[in-house]
Structure 1
Amino acid sequence: MISQTNNLKQLPQVAVVMVPLPAQGHLNQLLHLSHLITSYGIPVHYAGSTTHNRQAKLRLHGWDSQSLAKIHFHDFQLPPYHSPPPSIDTSVPFPNHLTALFQASSTHLREPVSQLLHQLSQNFSRVVVIHDIIMAYVIQDVKLIPNAKVFTFVPTSAFTMFADTWESIPEEVKPFQLDSKDIPENIPTGEGCATKEMVEFAINQVQCLGFESGWIYNTSRAIDGRYVTLLEKLSSTKSRIKHFALGPFHPVHIKNENGENRHQCLKWLDEQEKGSVIYVSFGSTTSLTDDQIEELANGLETSKVKFIWVLRSADRTNIFEEADKFRKAQLPEGYEDRVRDRGMVVRDWAPQLEILAHPSTGGFMSHCGWNSCMESLSMGVPIAAWPMHSDQPRNAALLSEVLRVGILVRDWAHRGEIVKSSTIENVVKTLMASEEGKEMMKRAAELGESVRGSVAEGGVCCLERDSFIAHMSE
């Protein structure tokens, strides 16, 4: 403990405050991490807008309601901000309609979060803040609290984080040499991954860093431990920041239980053969054009492979607004009747963890958001990688080029083009019904076993979590 006063010595030791970015993949990861930390008997305070705290709780899977009740949610109101509908412009795949939300959250959450931190600092001998890397502005006032400690959460793979960082260092001042296999030669560039407005926002946030005690990753050393080590090596040349690979944050043992509230797609999966179904979902920030939906529909149909397809538009800034105000994705006429015997289209929020953990699921066509990657890899499910924006192209490279547990649907260089049904058909068949696919399935299954073993008692991740809890409590 920093303070040696009798008063602080008598206080409860540690409280943790989570500050997530208000986008589903970010909200979800830090809510899962909140559950892990409460399992150590440490209170967690989850700070966000009223709307997005509600969203995070509504969509959480893998934990029971009693676990959720252990977390203290602090609901803060945001002032009105510009909230356009999600774009379906293929030339700008990044969900730029969320940028105004991010800016409003960054600006207006600073004061209430600061008040929360000062209040907790009076009641606990140590306050630990864990914030999303692009919500750094919100927690600036923690520097004024002597018994507070800060950790930065990196919501992507260590591979992507290292590749981005390494690329930003001029060649003449790179501190060490890489092995030729560390970063694939054909790794996608950052071009087209985000809009100018989002890049500027992220840069401004990262410039607020510099006083954190460590960086936290939702990854496993079984997946990209090489890149955690490289990040540690890079940090050792300029700072003493510690790097913690604490993932997967989500539960890795999902019970396939019957119940009246069980989603219909899980009941459908119960009736299918082991490993026979490909799960198709592109996350919460992607809207496909009508032309692309038609090509995907036809490709899945002609592949003759069983599928569950989550067909949704991207999240609005407020998911609780009336849905009928916004565009709904349309399928070809009569499509669902034609594929009824071997396919299911889901238009609501799907229980992804349970789907990936189900023995009938043999593959995942994904946008490669890091949440989805971690869930799929921990369940031993190979991926047909179809990146859309942000960190996804480089996550896809990790899957296909480094781990070799995935196959690309579309090369990032052709991101503005419609992917034809014939390409989709071939990719699905390759992943689900070829010798090459069998090898990917085998590697994915082995990797899944390693990841699940790492979080078991005595496993490398379990020990790293223990180490992190000890370090943050010092």
Structure 2
Amino acid sequence: MLPLLAQGHLIPFLALARQIQQTTPSFKITIATTPLNIQLLKHHHIHNHIHFAELPLNPNAENTEKPPLDGILKLCQASLISKIKEQEGYPPLSYISVWSNLPHINSDSDKFSVQPFPQDYKFSSCHMPRYLREANGSNDWSRFLVSQLSLSMKSDGWICNTVEEVETLGLDLLRKYIHLPIWSLGPLRPLPLKGKETSMASDEECIEWLNLKDQRSVLCICFGSQNTISTCQMMALAEGLEKSETSFIWVVRPPLGFDINGEFNAHEWLPKGFEERIKNAQKGLLVHQWGPQMKILSHKSIAAFVSHCGWNSVLESLSCGVPIIGWPLAAEQAYNAKMLDEELGVGVILTATVESVVSNEEVKNVTEMVMDQESVMGKEMKGKKN
């Protein structure tokens, strides 16, 4: 198994490894990843039949305590692309000229359609992260993705961490497009990975706080392990939450431009006195760096989830019957949020990307609309939670 190096990809791969090991104990399973990721995975009790192989990186990377994902990818990229080019039948780089015909580049409006989706199925450029909007085929990400997709088309089939009933349209179009077998194995939901920031004490604090709240009265907020929002957005989110008077549990990380794994400075990045007010009023709980997301989402007091709509978070939220307020930030998250809103009817998009301007009034209105179990949207989402 060779997952992408980000933690969000390690989680489902580890879950799949465990499932294979349980059903076929004679198999020897090896997960190939970086030394730092192996240390992370070894925090778990892993069966003897699940092994690890270290991927060699630039020696300088090993001296970095927590190299960022983009840094790791740049270190690996040159060697990956050179090896991929050696594969028989690898398309020449002129293949990337098709990027100049991307529909969002040629569209005169923010809305655009994508083949083979139906023409009335529109996507929004403003919901796409900057690197996708500006991709032209010659940048690093374009070259990396073209090489990966080209090789994947040579496989015997695809295994997807999804559910047929959830992605009916997408899976149908994908099968017709790639002409390969596709097996949906989801949702793969293992125990959350434990880093050094996680402790049983923080788990207990979260659950004890939630136990004091009424059923379906609390909003969960988390933007994942690799994503964060801007300082202005963080301020607007906090102000909107106070205005709505909604109870919430918020996993906070430093905003864009700061070390995402660094210490959180509430006095600088949140409204003055915010943390003290919500604590004294028992209205909110700030969880620094990491929280037990599955335990939180499955708690009876949780009514909705403000999420970046990373796929692991989407599956966890759907599995727990919790509607999502989408705030996509990167990768395919905008498309996940769109599906939750327009296809499944269990989500609504508040805003998108770290560049958007969101007001505290927007946060207040959307929060109240989703949290209100008697509103039209609240009733519809509640009716679909099973």
TM over 0.5: yes
Q: Give how far 1:293 is off.
A: 1.5
Match for residue 417 of structure 1?
356
Equivalent in the alignment of 2:109: none
Please give the residue correspondences for 1:167-316 in structure 2 after superposition, counting only pairs within 5 Å.
Answer: 184-188=121-125, 190=128, 192-194=130-132, 196-236=139-179, 241-251=180-190, 262-313=203-254
The 3-state SS of whatever aligns with 1:438 is: helix
How has the CA–CA distance of structure 1 residues 140 and 243 changed in structure 2, closer, same or farther, with 3 Å as cutoff? Answer: farther
How far off its partner does 1:382 sit? 0.3
**Cα deviations across residues 110-166 of structure 1 (Å, max 9, x unaligned)?**
7xxxxxxxxxxxxxxxxxxxxxxxxx98789999xxxxxxxxxxxxxxxxxxxxxx9
Question: What are the superposed Cα offsets for residues 163-207 of structure 1, whole Å, 9 maximum, x if unpaired?
Answer: xxx979xxxxxxx97656xx6335557572546432332223323
1:71 counterpart (45, 50, 57): 50
Pick closer, same or farther for the CA change 1:365–1:351 going to 2, 3 Å.
same
Q: Which residue pairs with 2:93 in the alignment?
A: none
Does residue 54 (structure 1) correspond to residue 39 (structure 2)? The answer is yes
Aligned counterparts of 1:314 and 1:85: Cα–Cα separation in 2: 20
Is contact 1:387–1:396 with CA below 8 Å preserved after alignment? yes
Give 3-state SS (helix, strand or coil) of 1:365's partner.
Answer: strand
Secondary structure of 2:183's counterpart equals: strand
Structure 2 portions without partners, runs of 5+: 89-101, 105-114, 192-199
Q: Equivalent residue for 1:36?
A: 19
> Quick one: distance in 2 between partners of 1:250 and 1:223?
16
SS at match of 1:73: strand
CA contact (8 A) 1:184 1:401 kept: no
**Cα deviation per residue 1:431-458 (whole Å; 9 max; x = unaligned)?**
1015133234324412xxxxxxxxxxxx
2:129, 2:329 within 8 Å by CA — same for their partners in 1?
Answer: no
**Amino acid in the other structure paired with 1:305:** T
Structure 2 Cα separation of the partners of residues 260 and 313 of structure 1: 22
State the SS of the aligned residue for 2:357: coil
Equivalent residues of 1:272, 1:360 under 8 A apart:
yes
1:336/1:411 Cα in 2 relative to 1: closer, same or farther (>3 Å)?
closer
Q: Which of 344, 358, 379 does residue 439 from structure 1 map onto?
A: 379
Amino acid at match of 1:216: I
Aligned to 1:45: 30
Question: In the TM superposition, what whole-angstrom CA distance separates every residue of 1:203-261 from its partner, at most 9, and x where no partner exists?
Answer: 2332333431111111101211232122112233xxxx211111101159xxxxxx867
* 8 Å CA contact retained: 1:217, 1:245: yes
Q: Distance in 1 between matches of 2:83 and 2:322?
A: 37
CA RMSD of aligned residues (A): 3.7
CA distance in 2, matches of 1:373, 1:366: 8
CA distance in 2, matches of 1:99, 1:248: 27
Could you list the runs of 5+ residues in structure 1 that have no partner in the other structure?
1-17, 59-64, 87-95, 111-135, 144-165, 169-175, 253-258, 447-474
Kept in 2: contact 1:106–1:138 (CA 8 A): no
Amino acid at match of 2:122: E
> Could you tell me the TM-score, scaled by structure 2's length?
0.76
Distance 2:129 2:210 in 1: 39
1:429 match: 368
Deviation at 1:334, TM superposition (A): 1.7
Higher relative contact order (CA 8 A, sep 6+): 1
Q: Which amino acid aligns with 1:104?
A: L
2:162 alignment partner AA: T
Structure-2 change in CA distance of 1:271 and 1:374 (3 Å):
same
Q: CA deviation at 1:102?
A: 1.3
1:101 paired residue number: 72
Q: Distance in 2 between matches of 1:201 and 1:360?
A: 43
**CA–CA separation in structure 1 for the residues paired with 2:2 and 2:167:** 25
Amino acid corresponding to residue 184 of structure 1 in structure 2? Y
Q: In percent, how many aligned pairs have the same letter? A: 30
Shift in alpha-carbon separation, 1:70–1:370, aligned structure 2, 3 A: same
2:14–2:190 CA contact under 8 A, matched in 1 = no
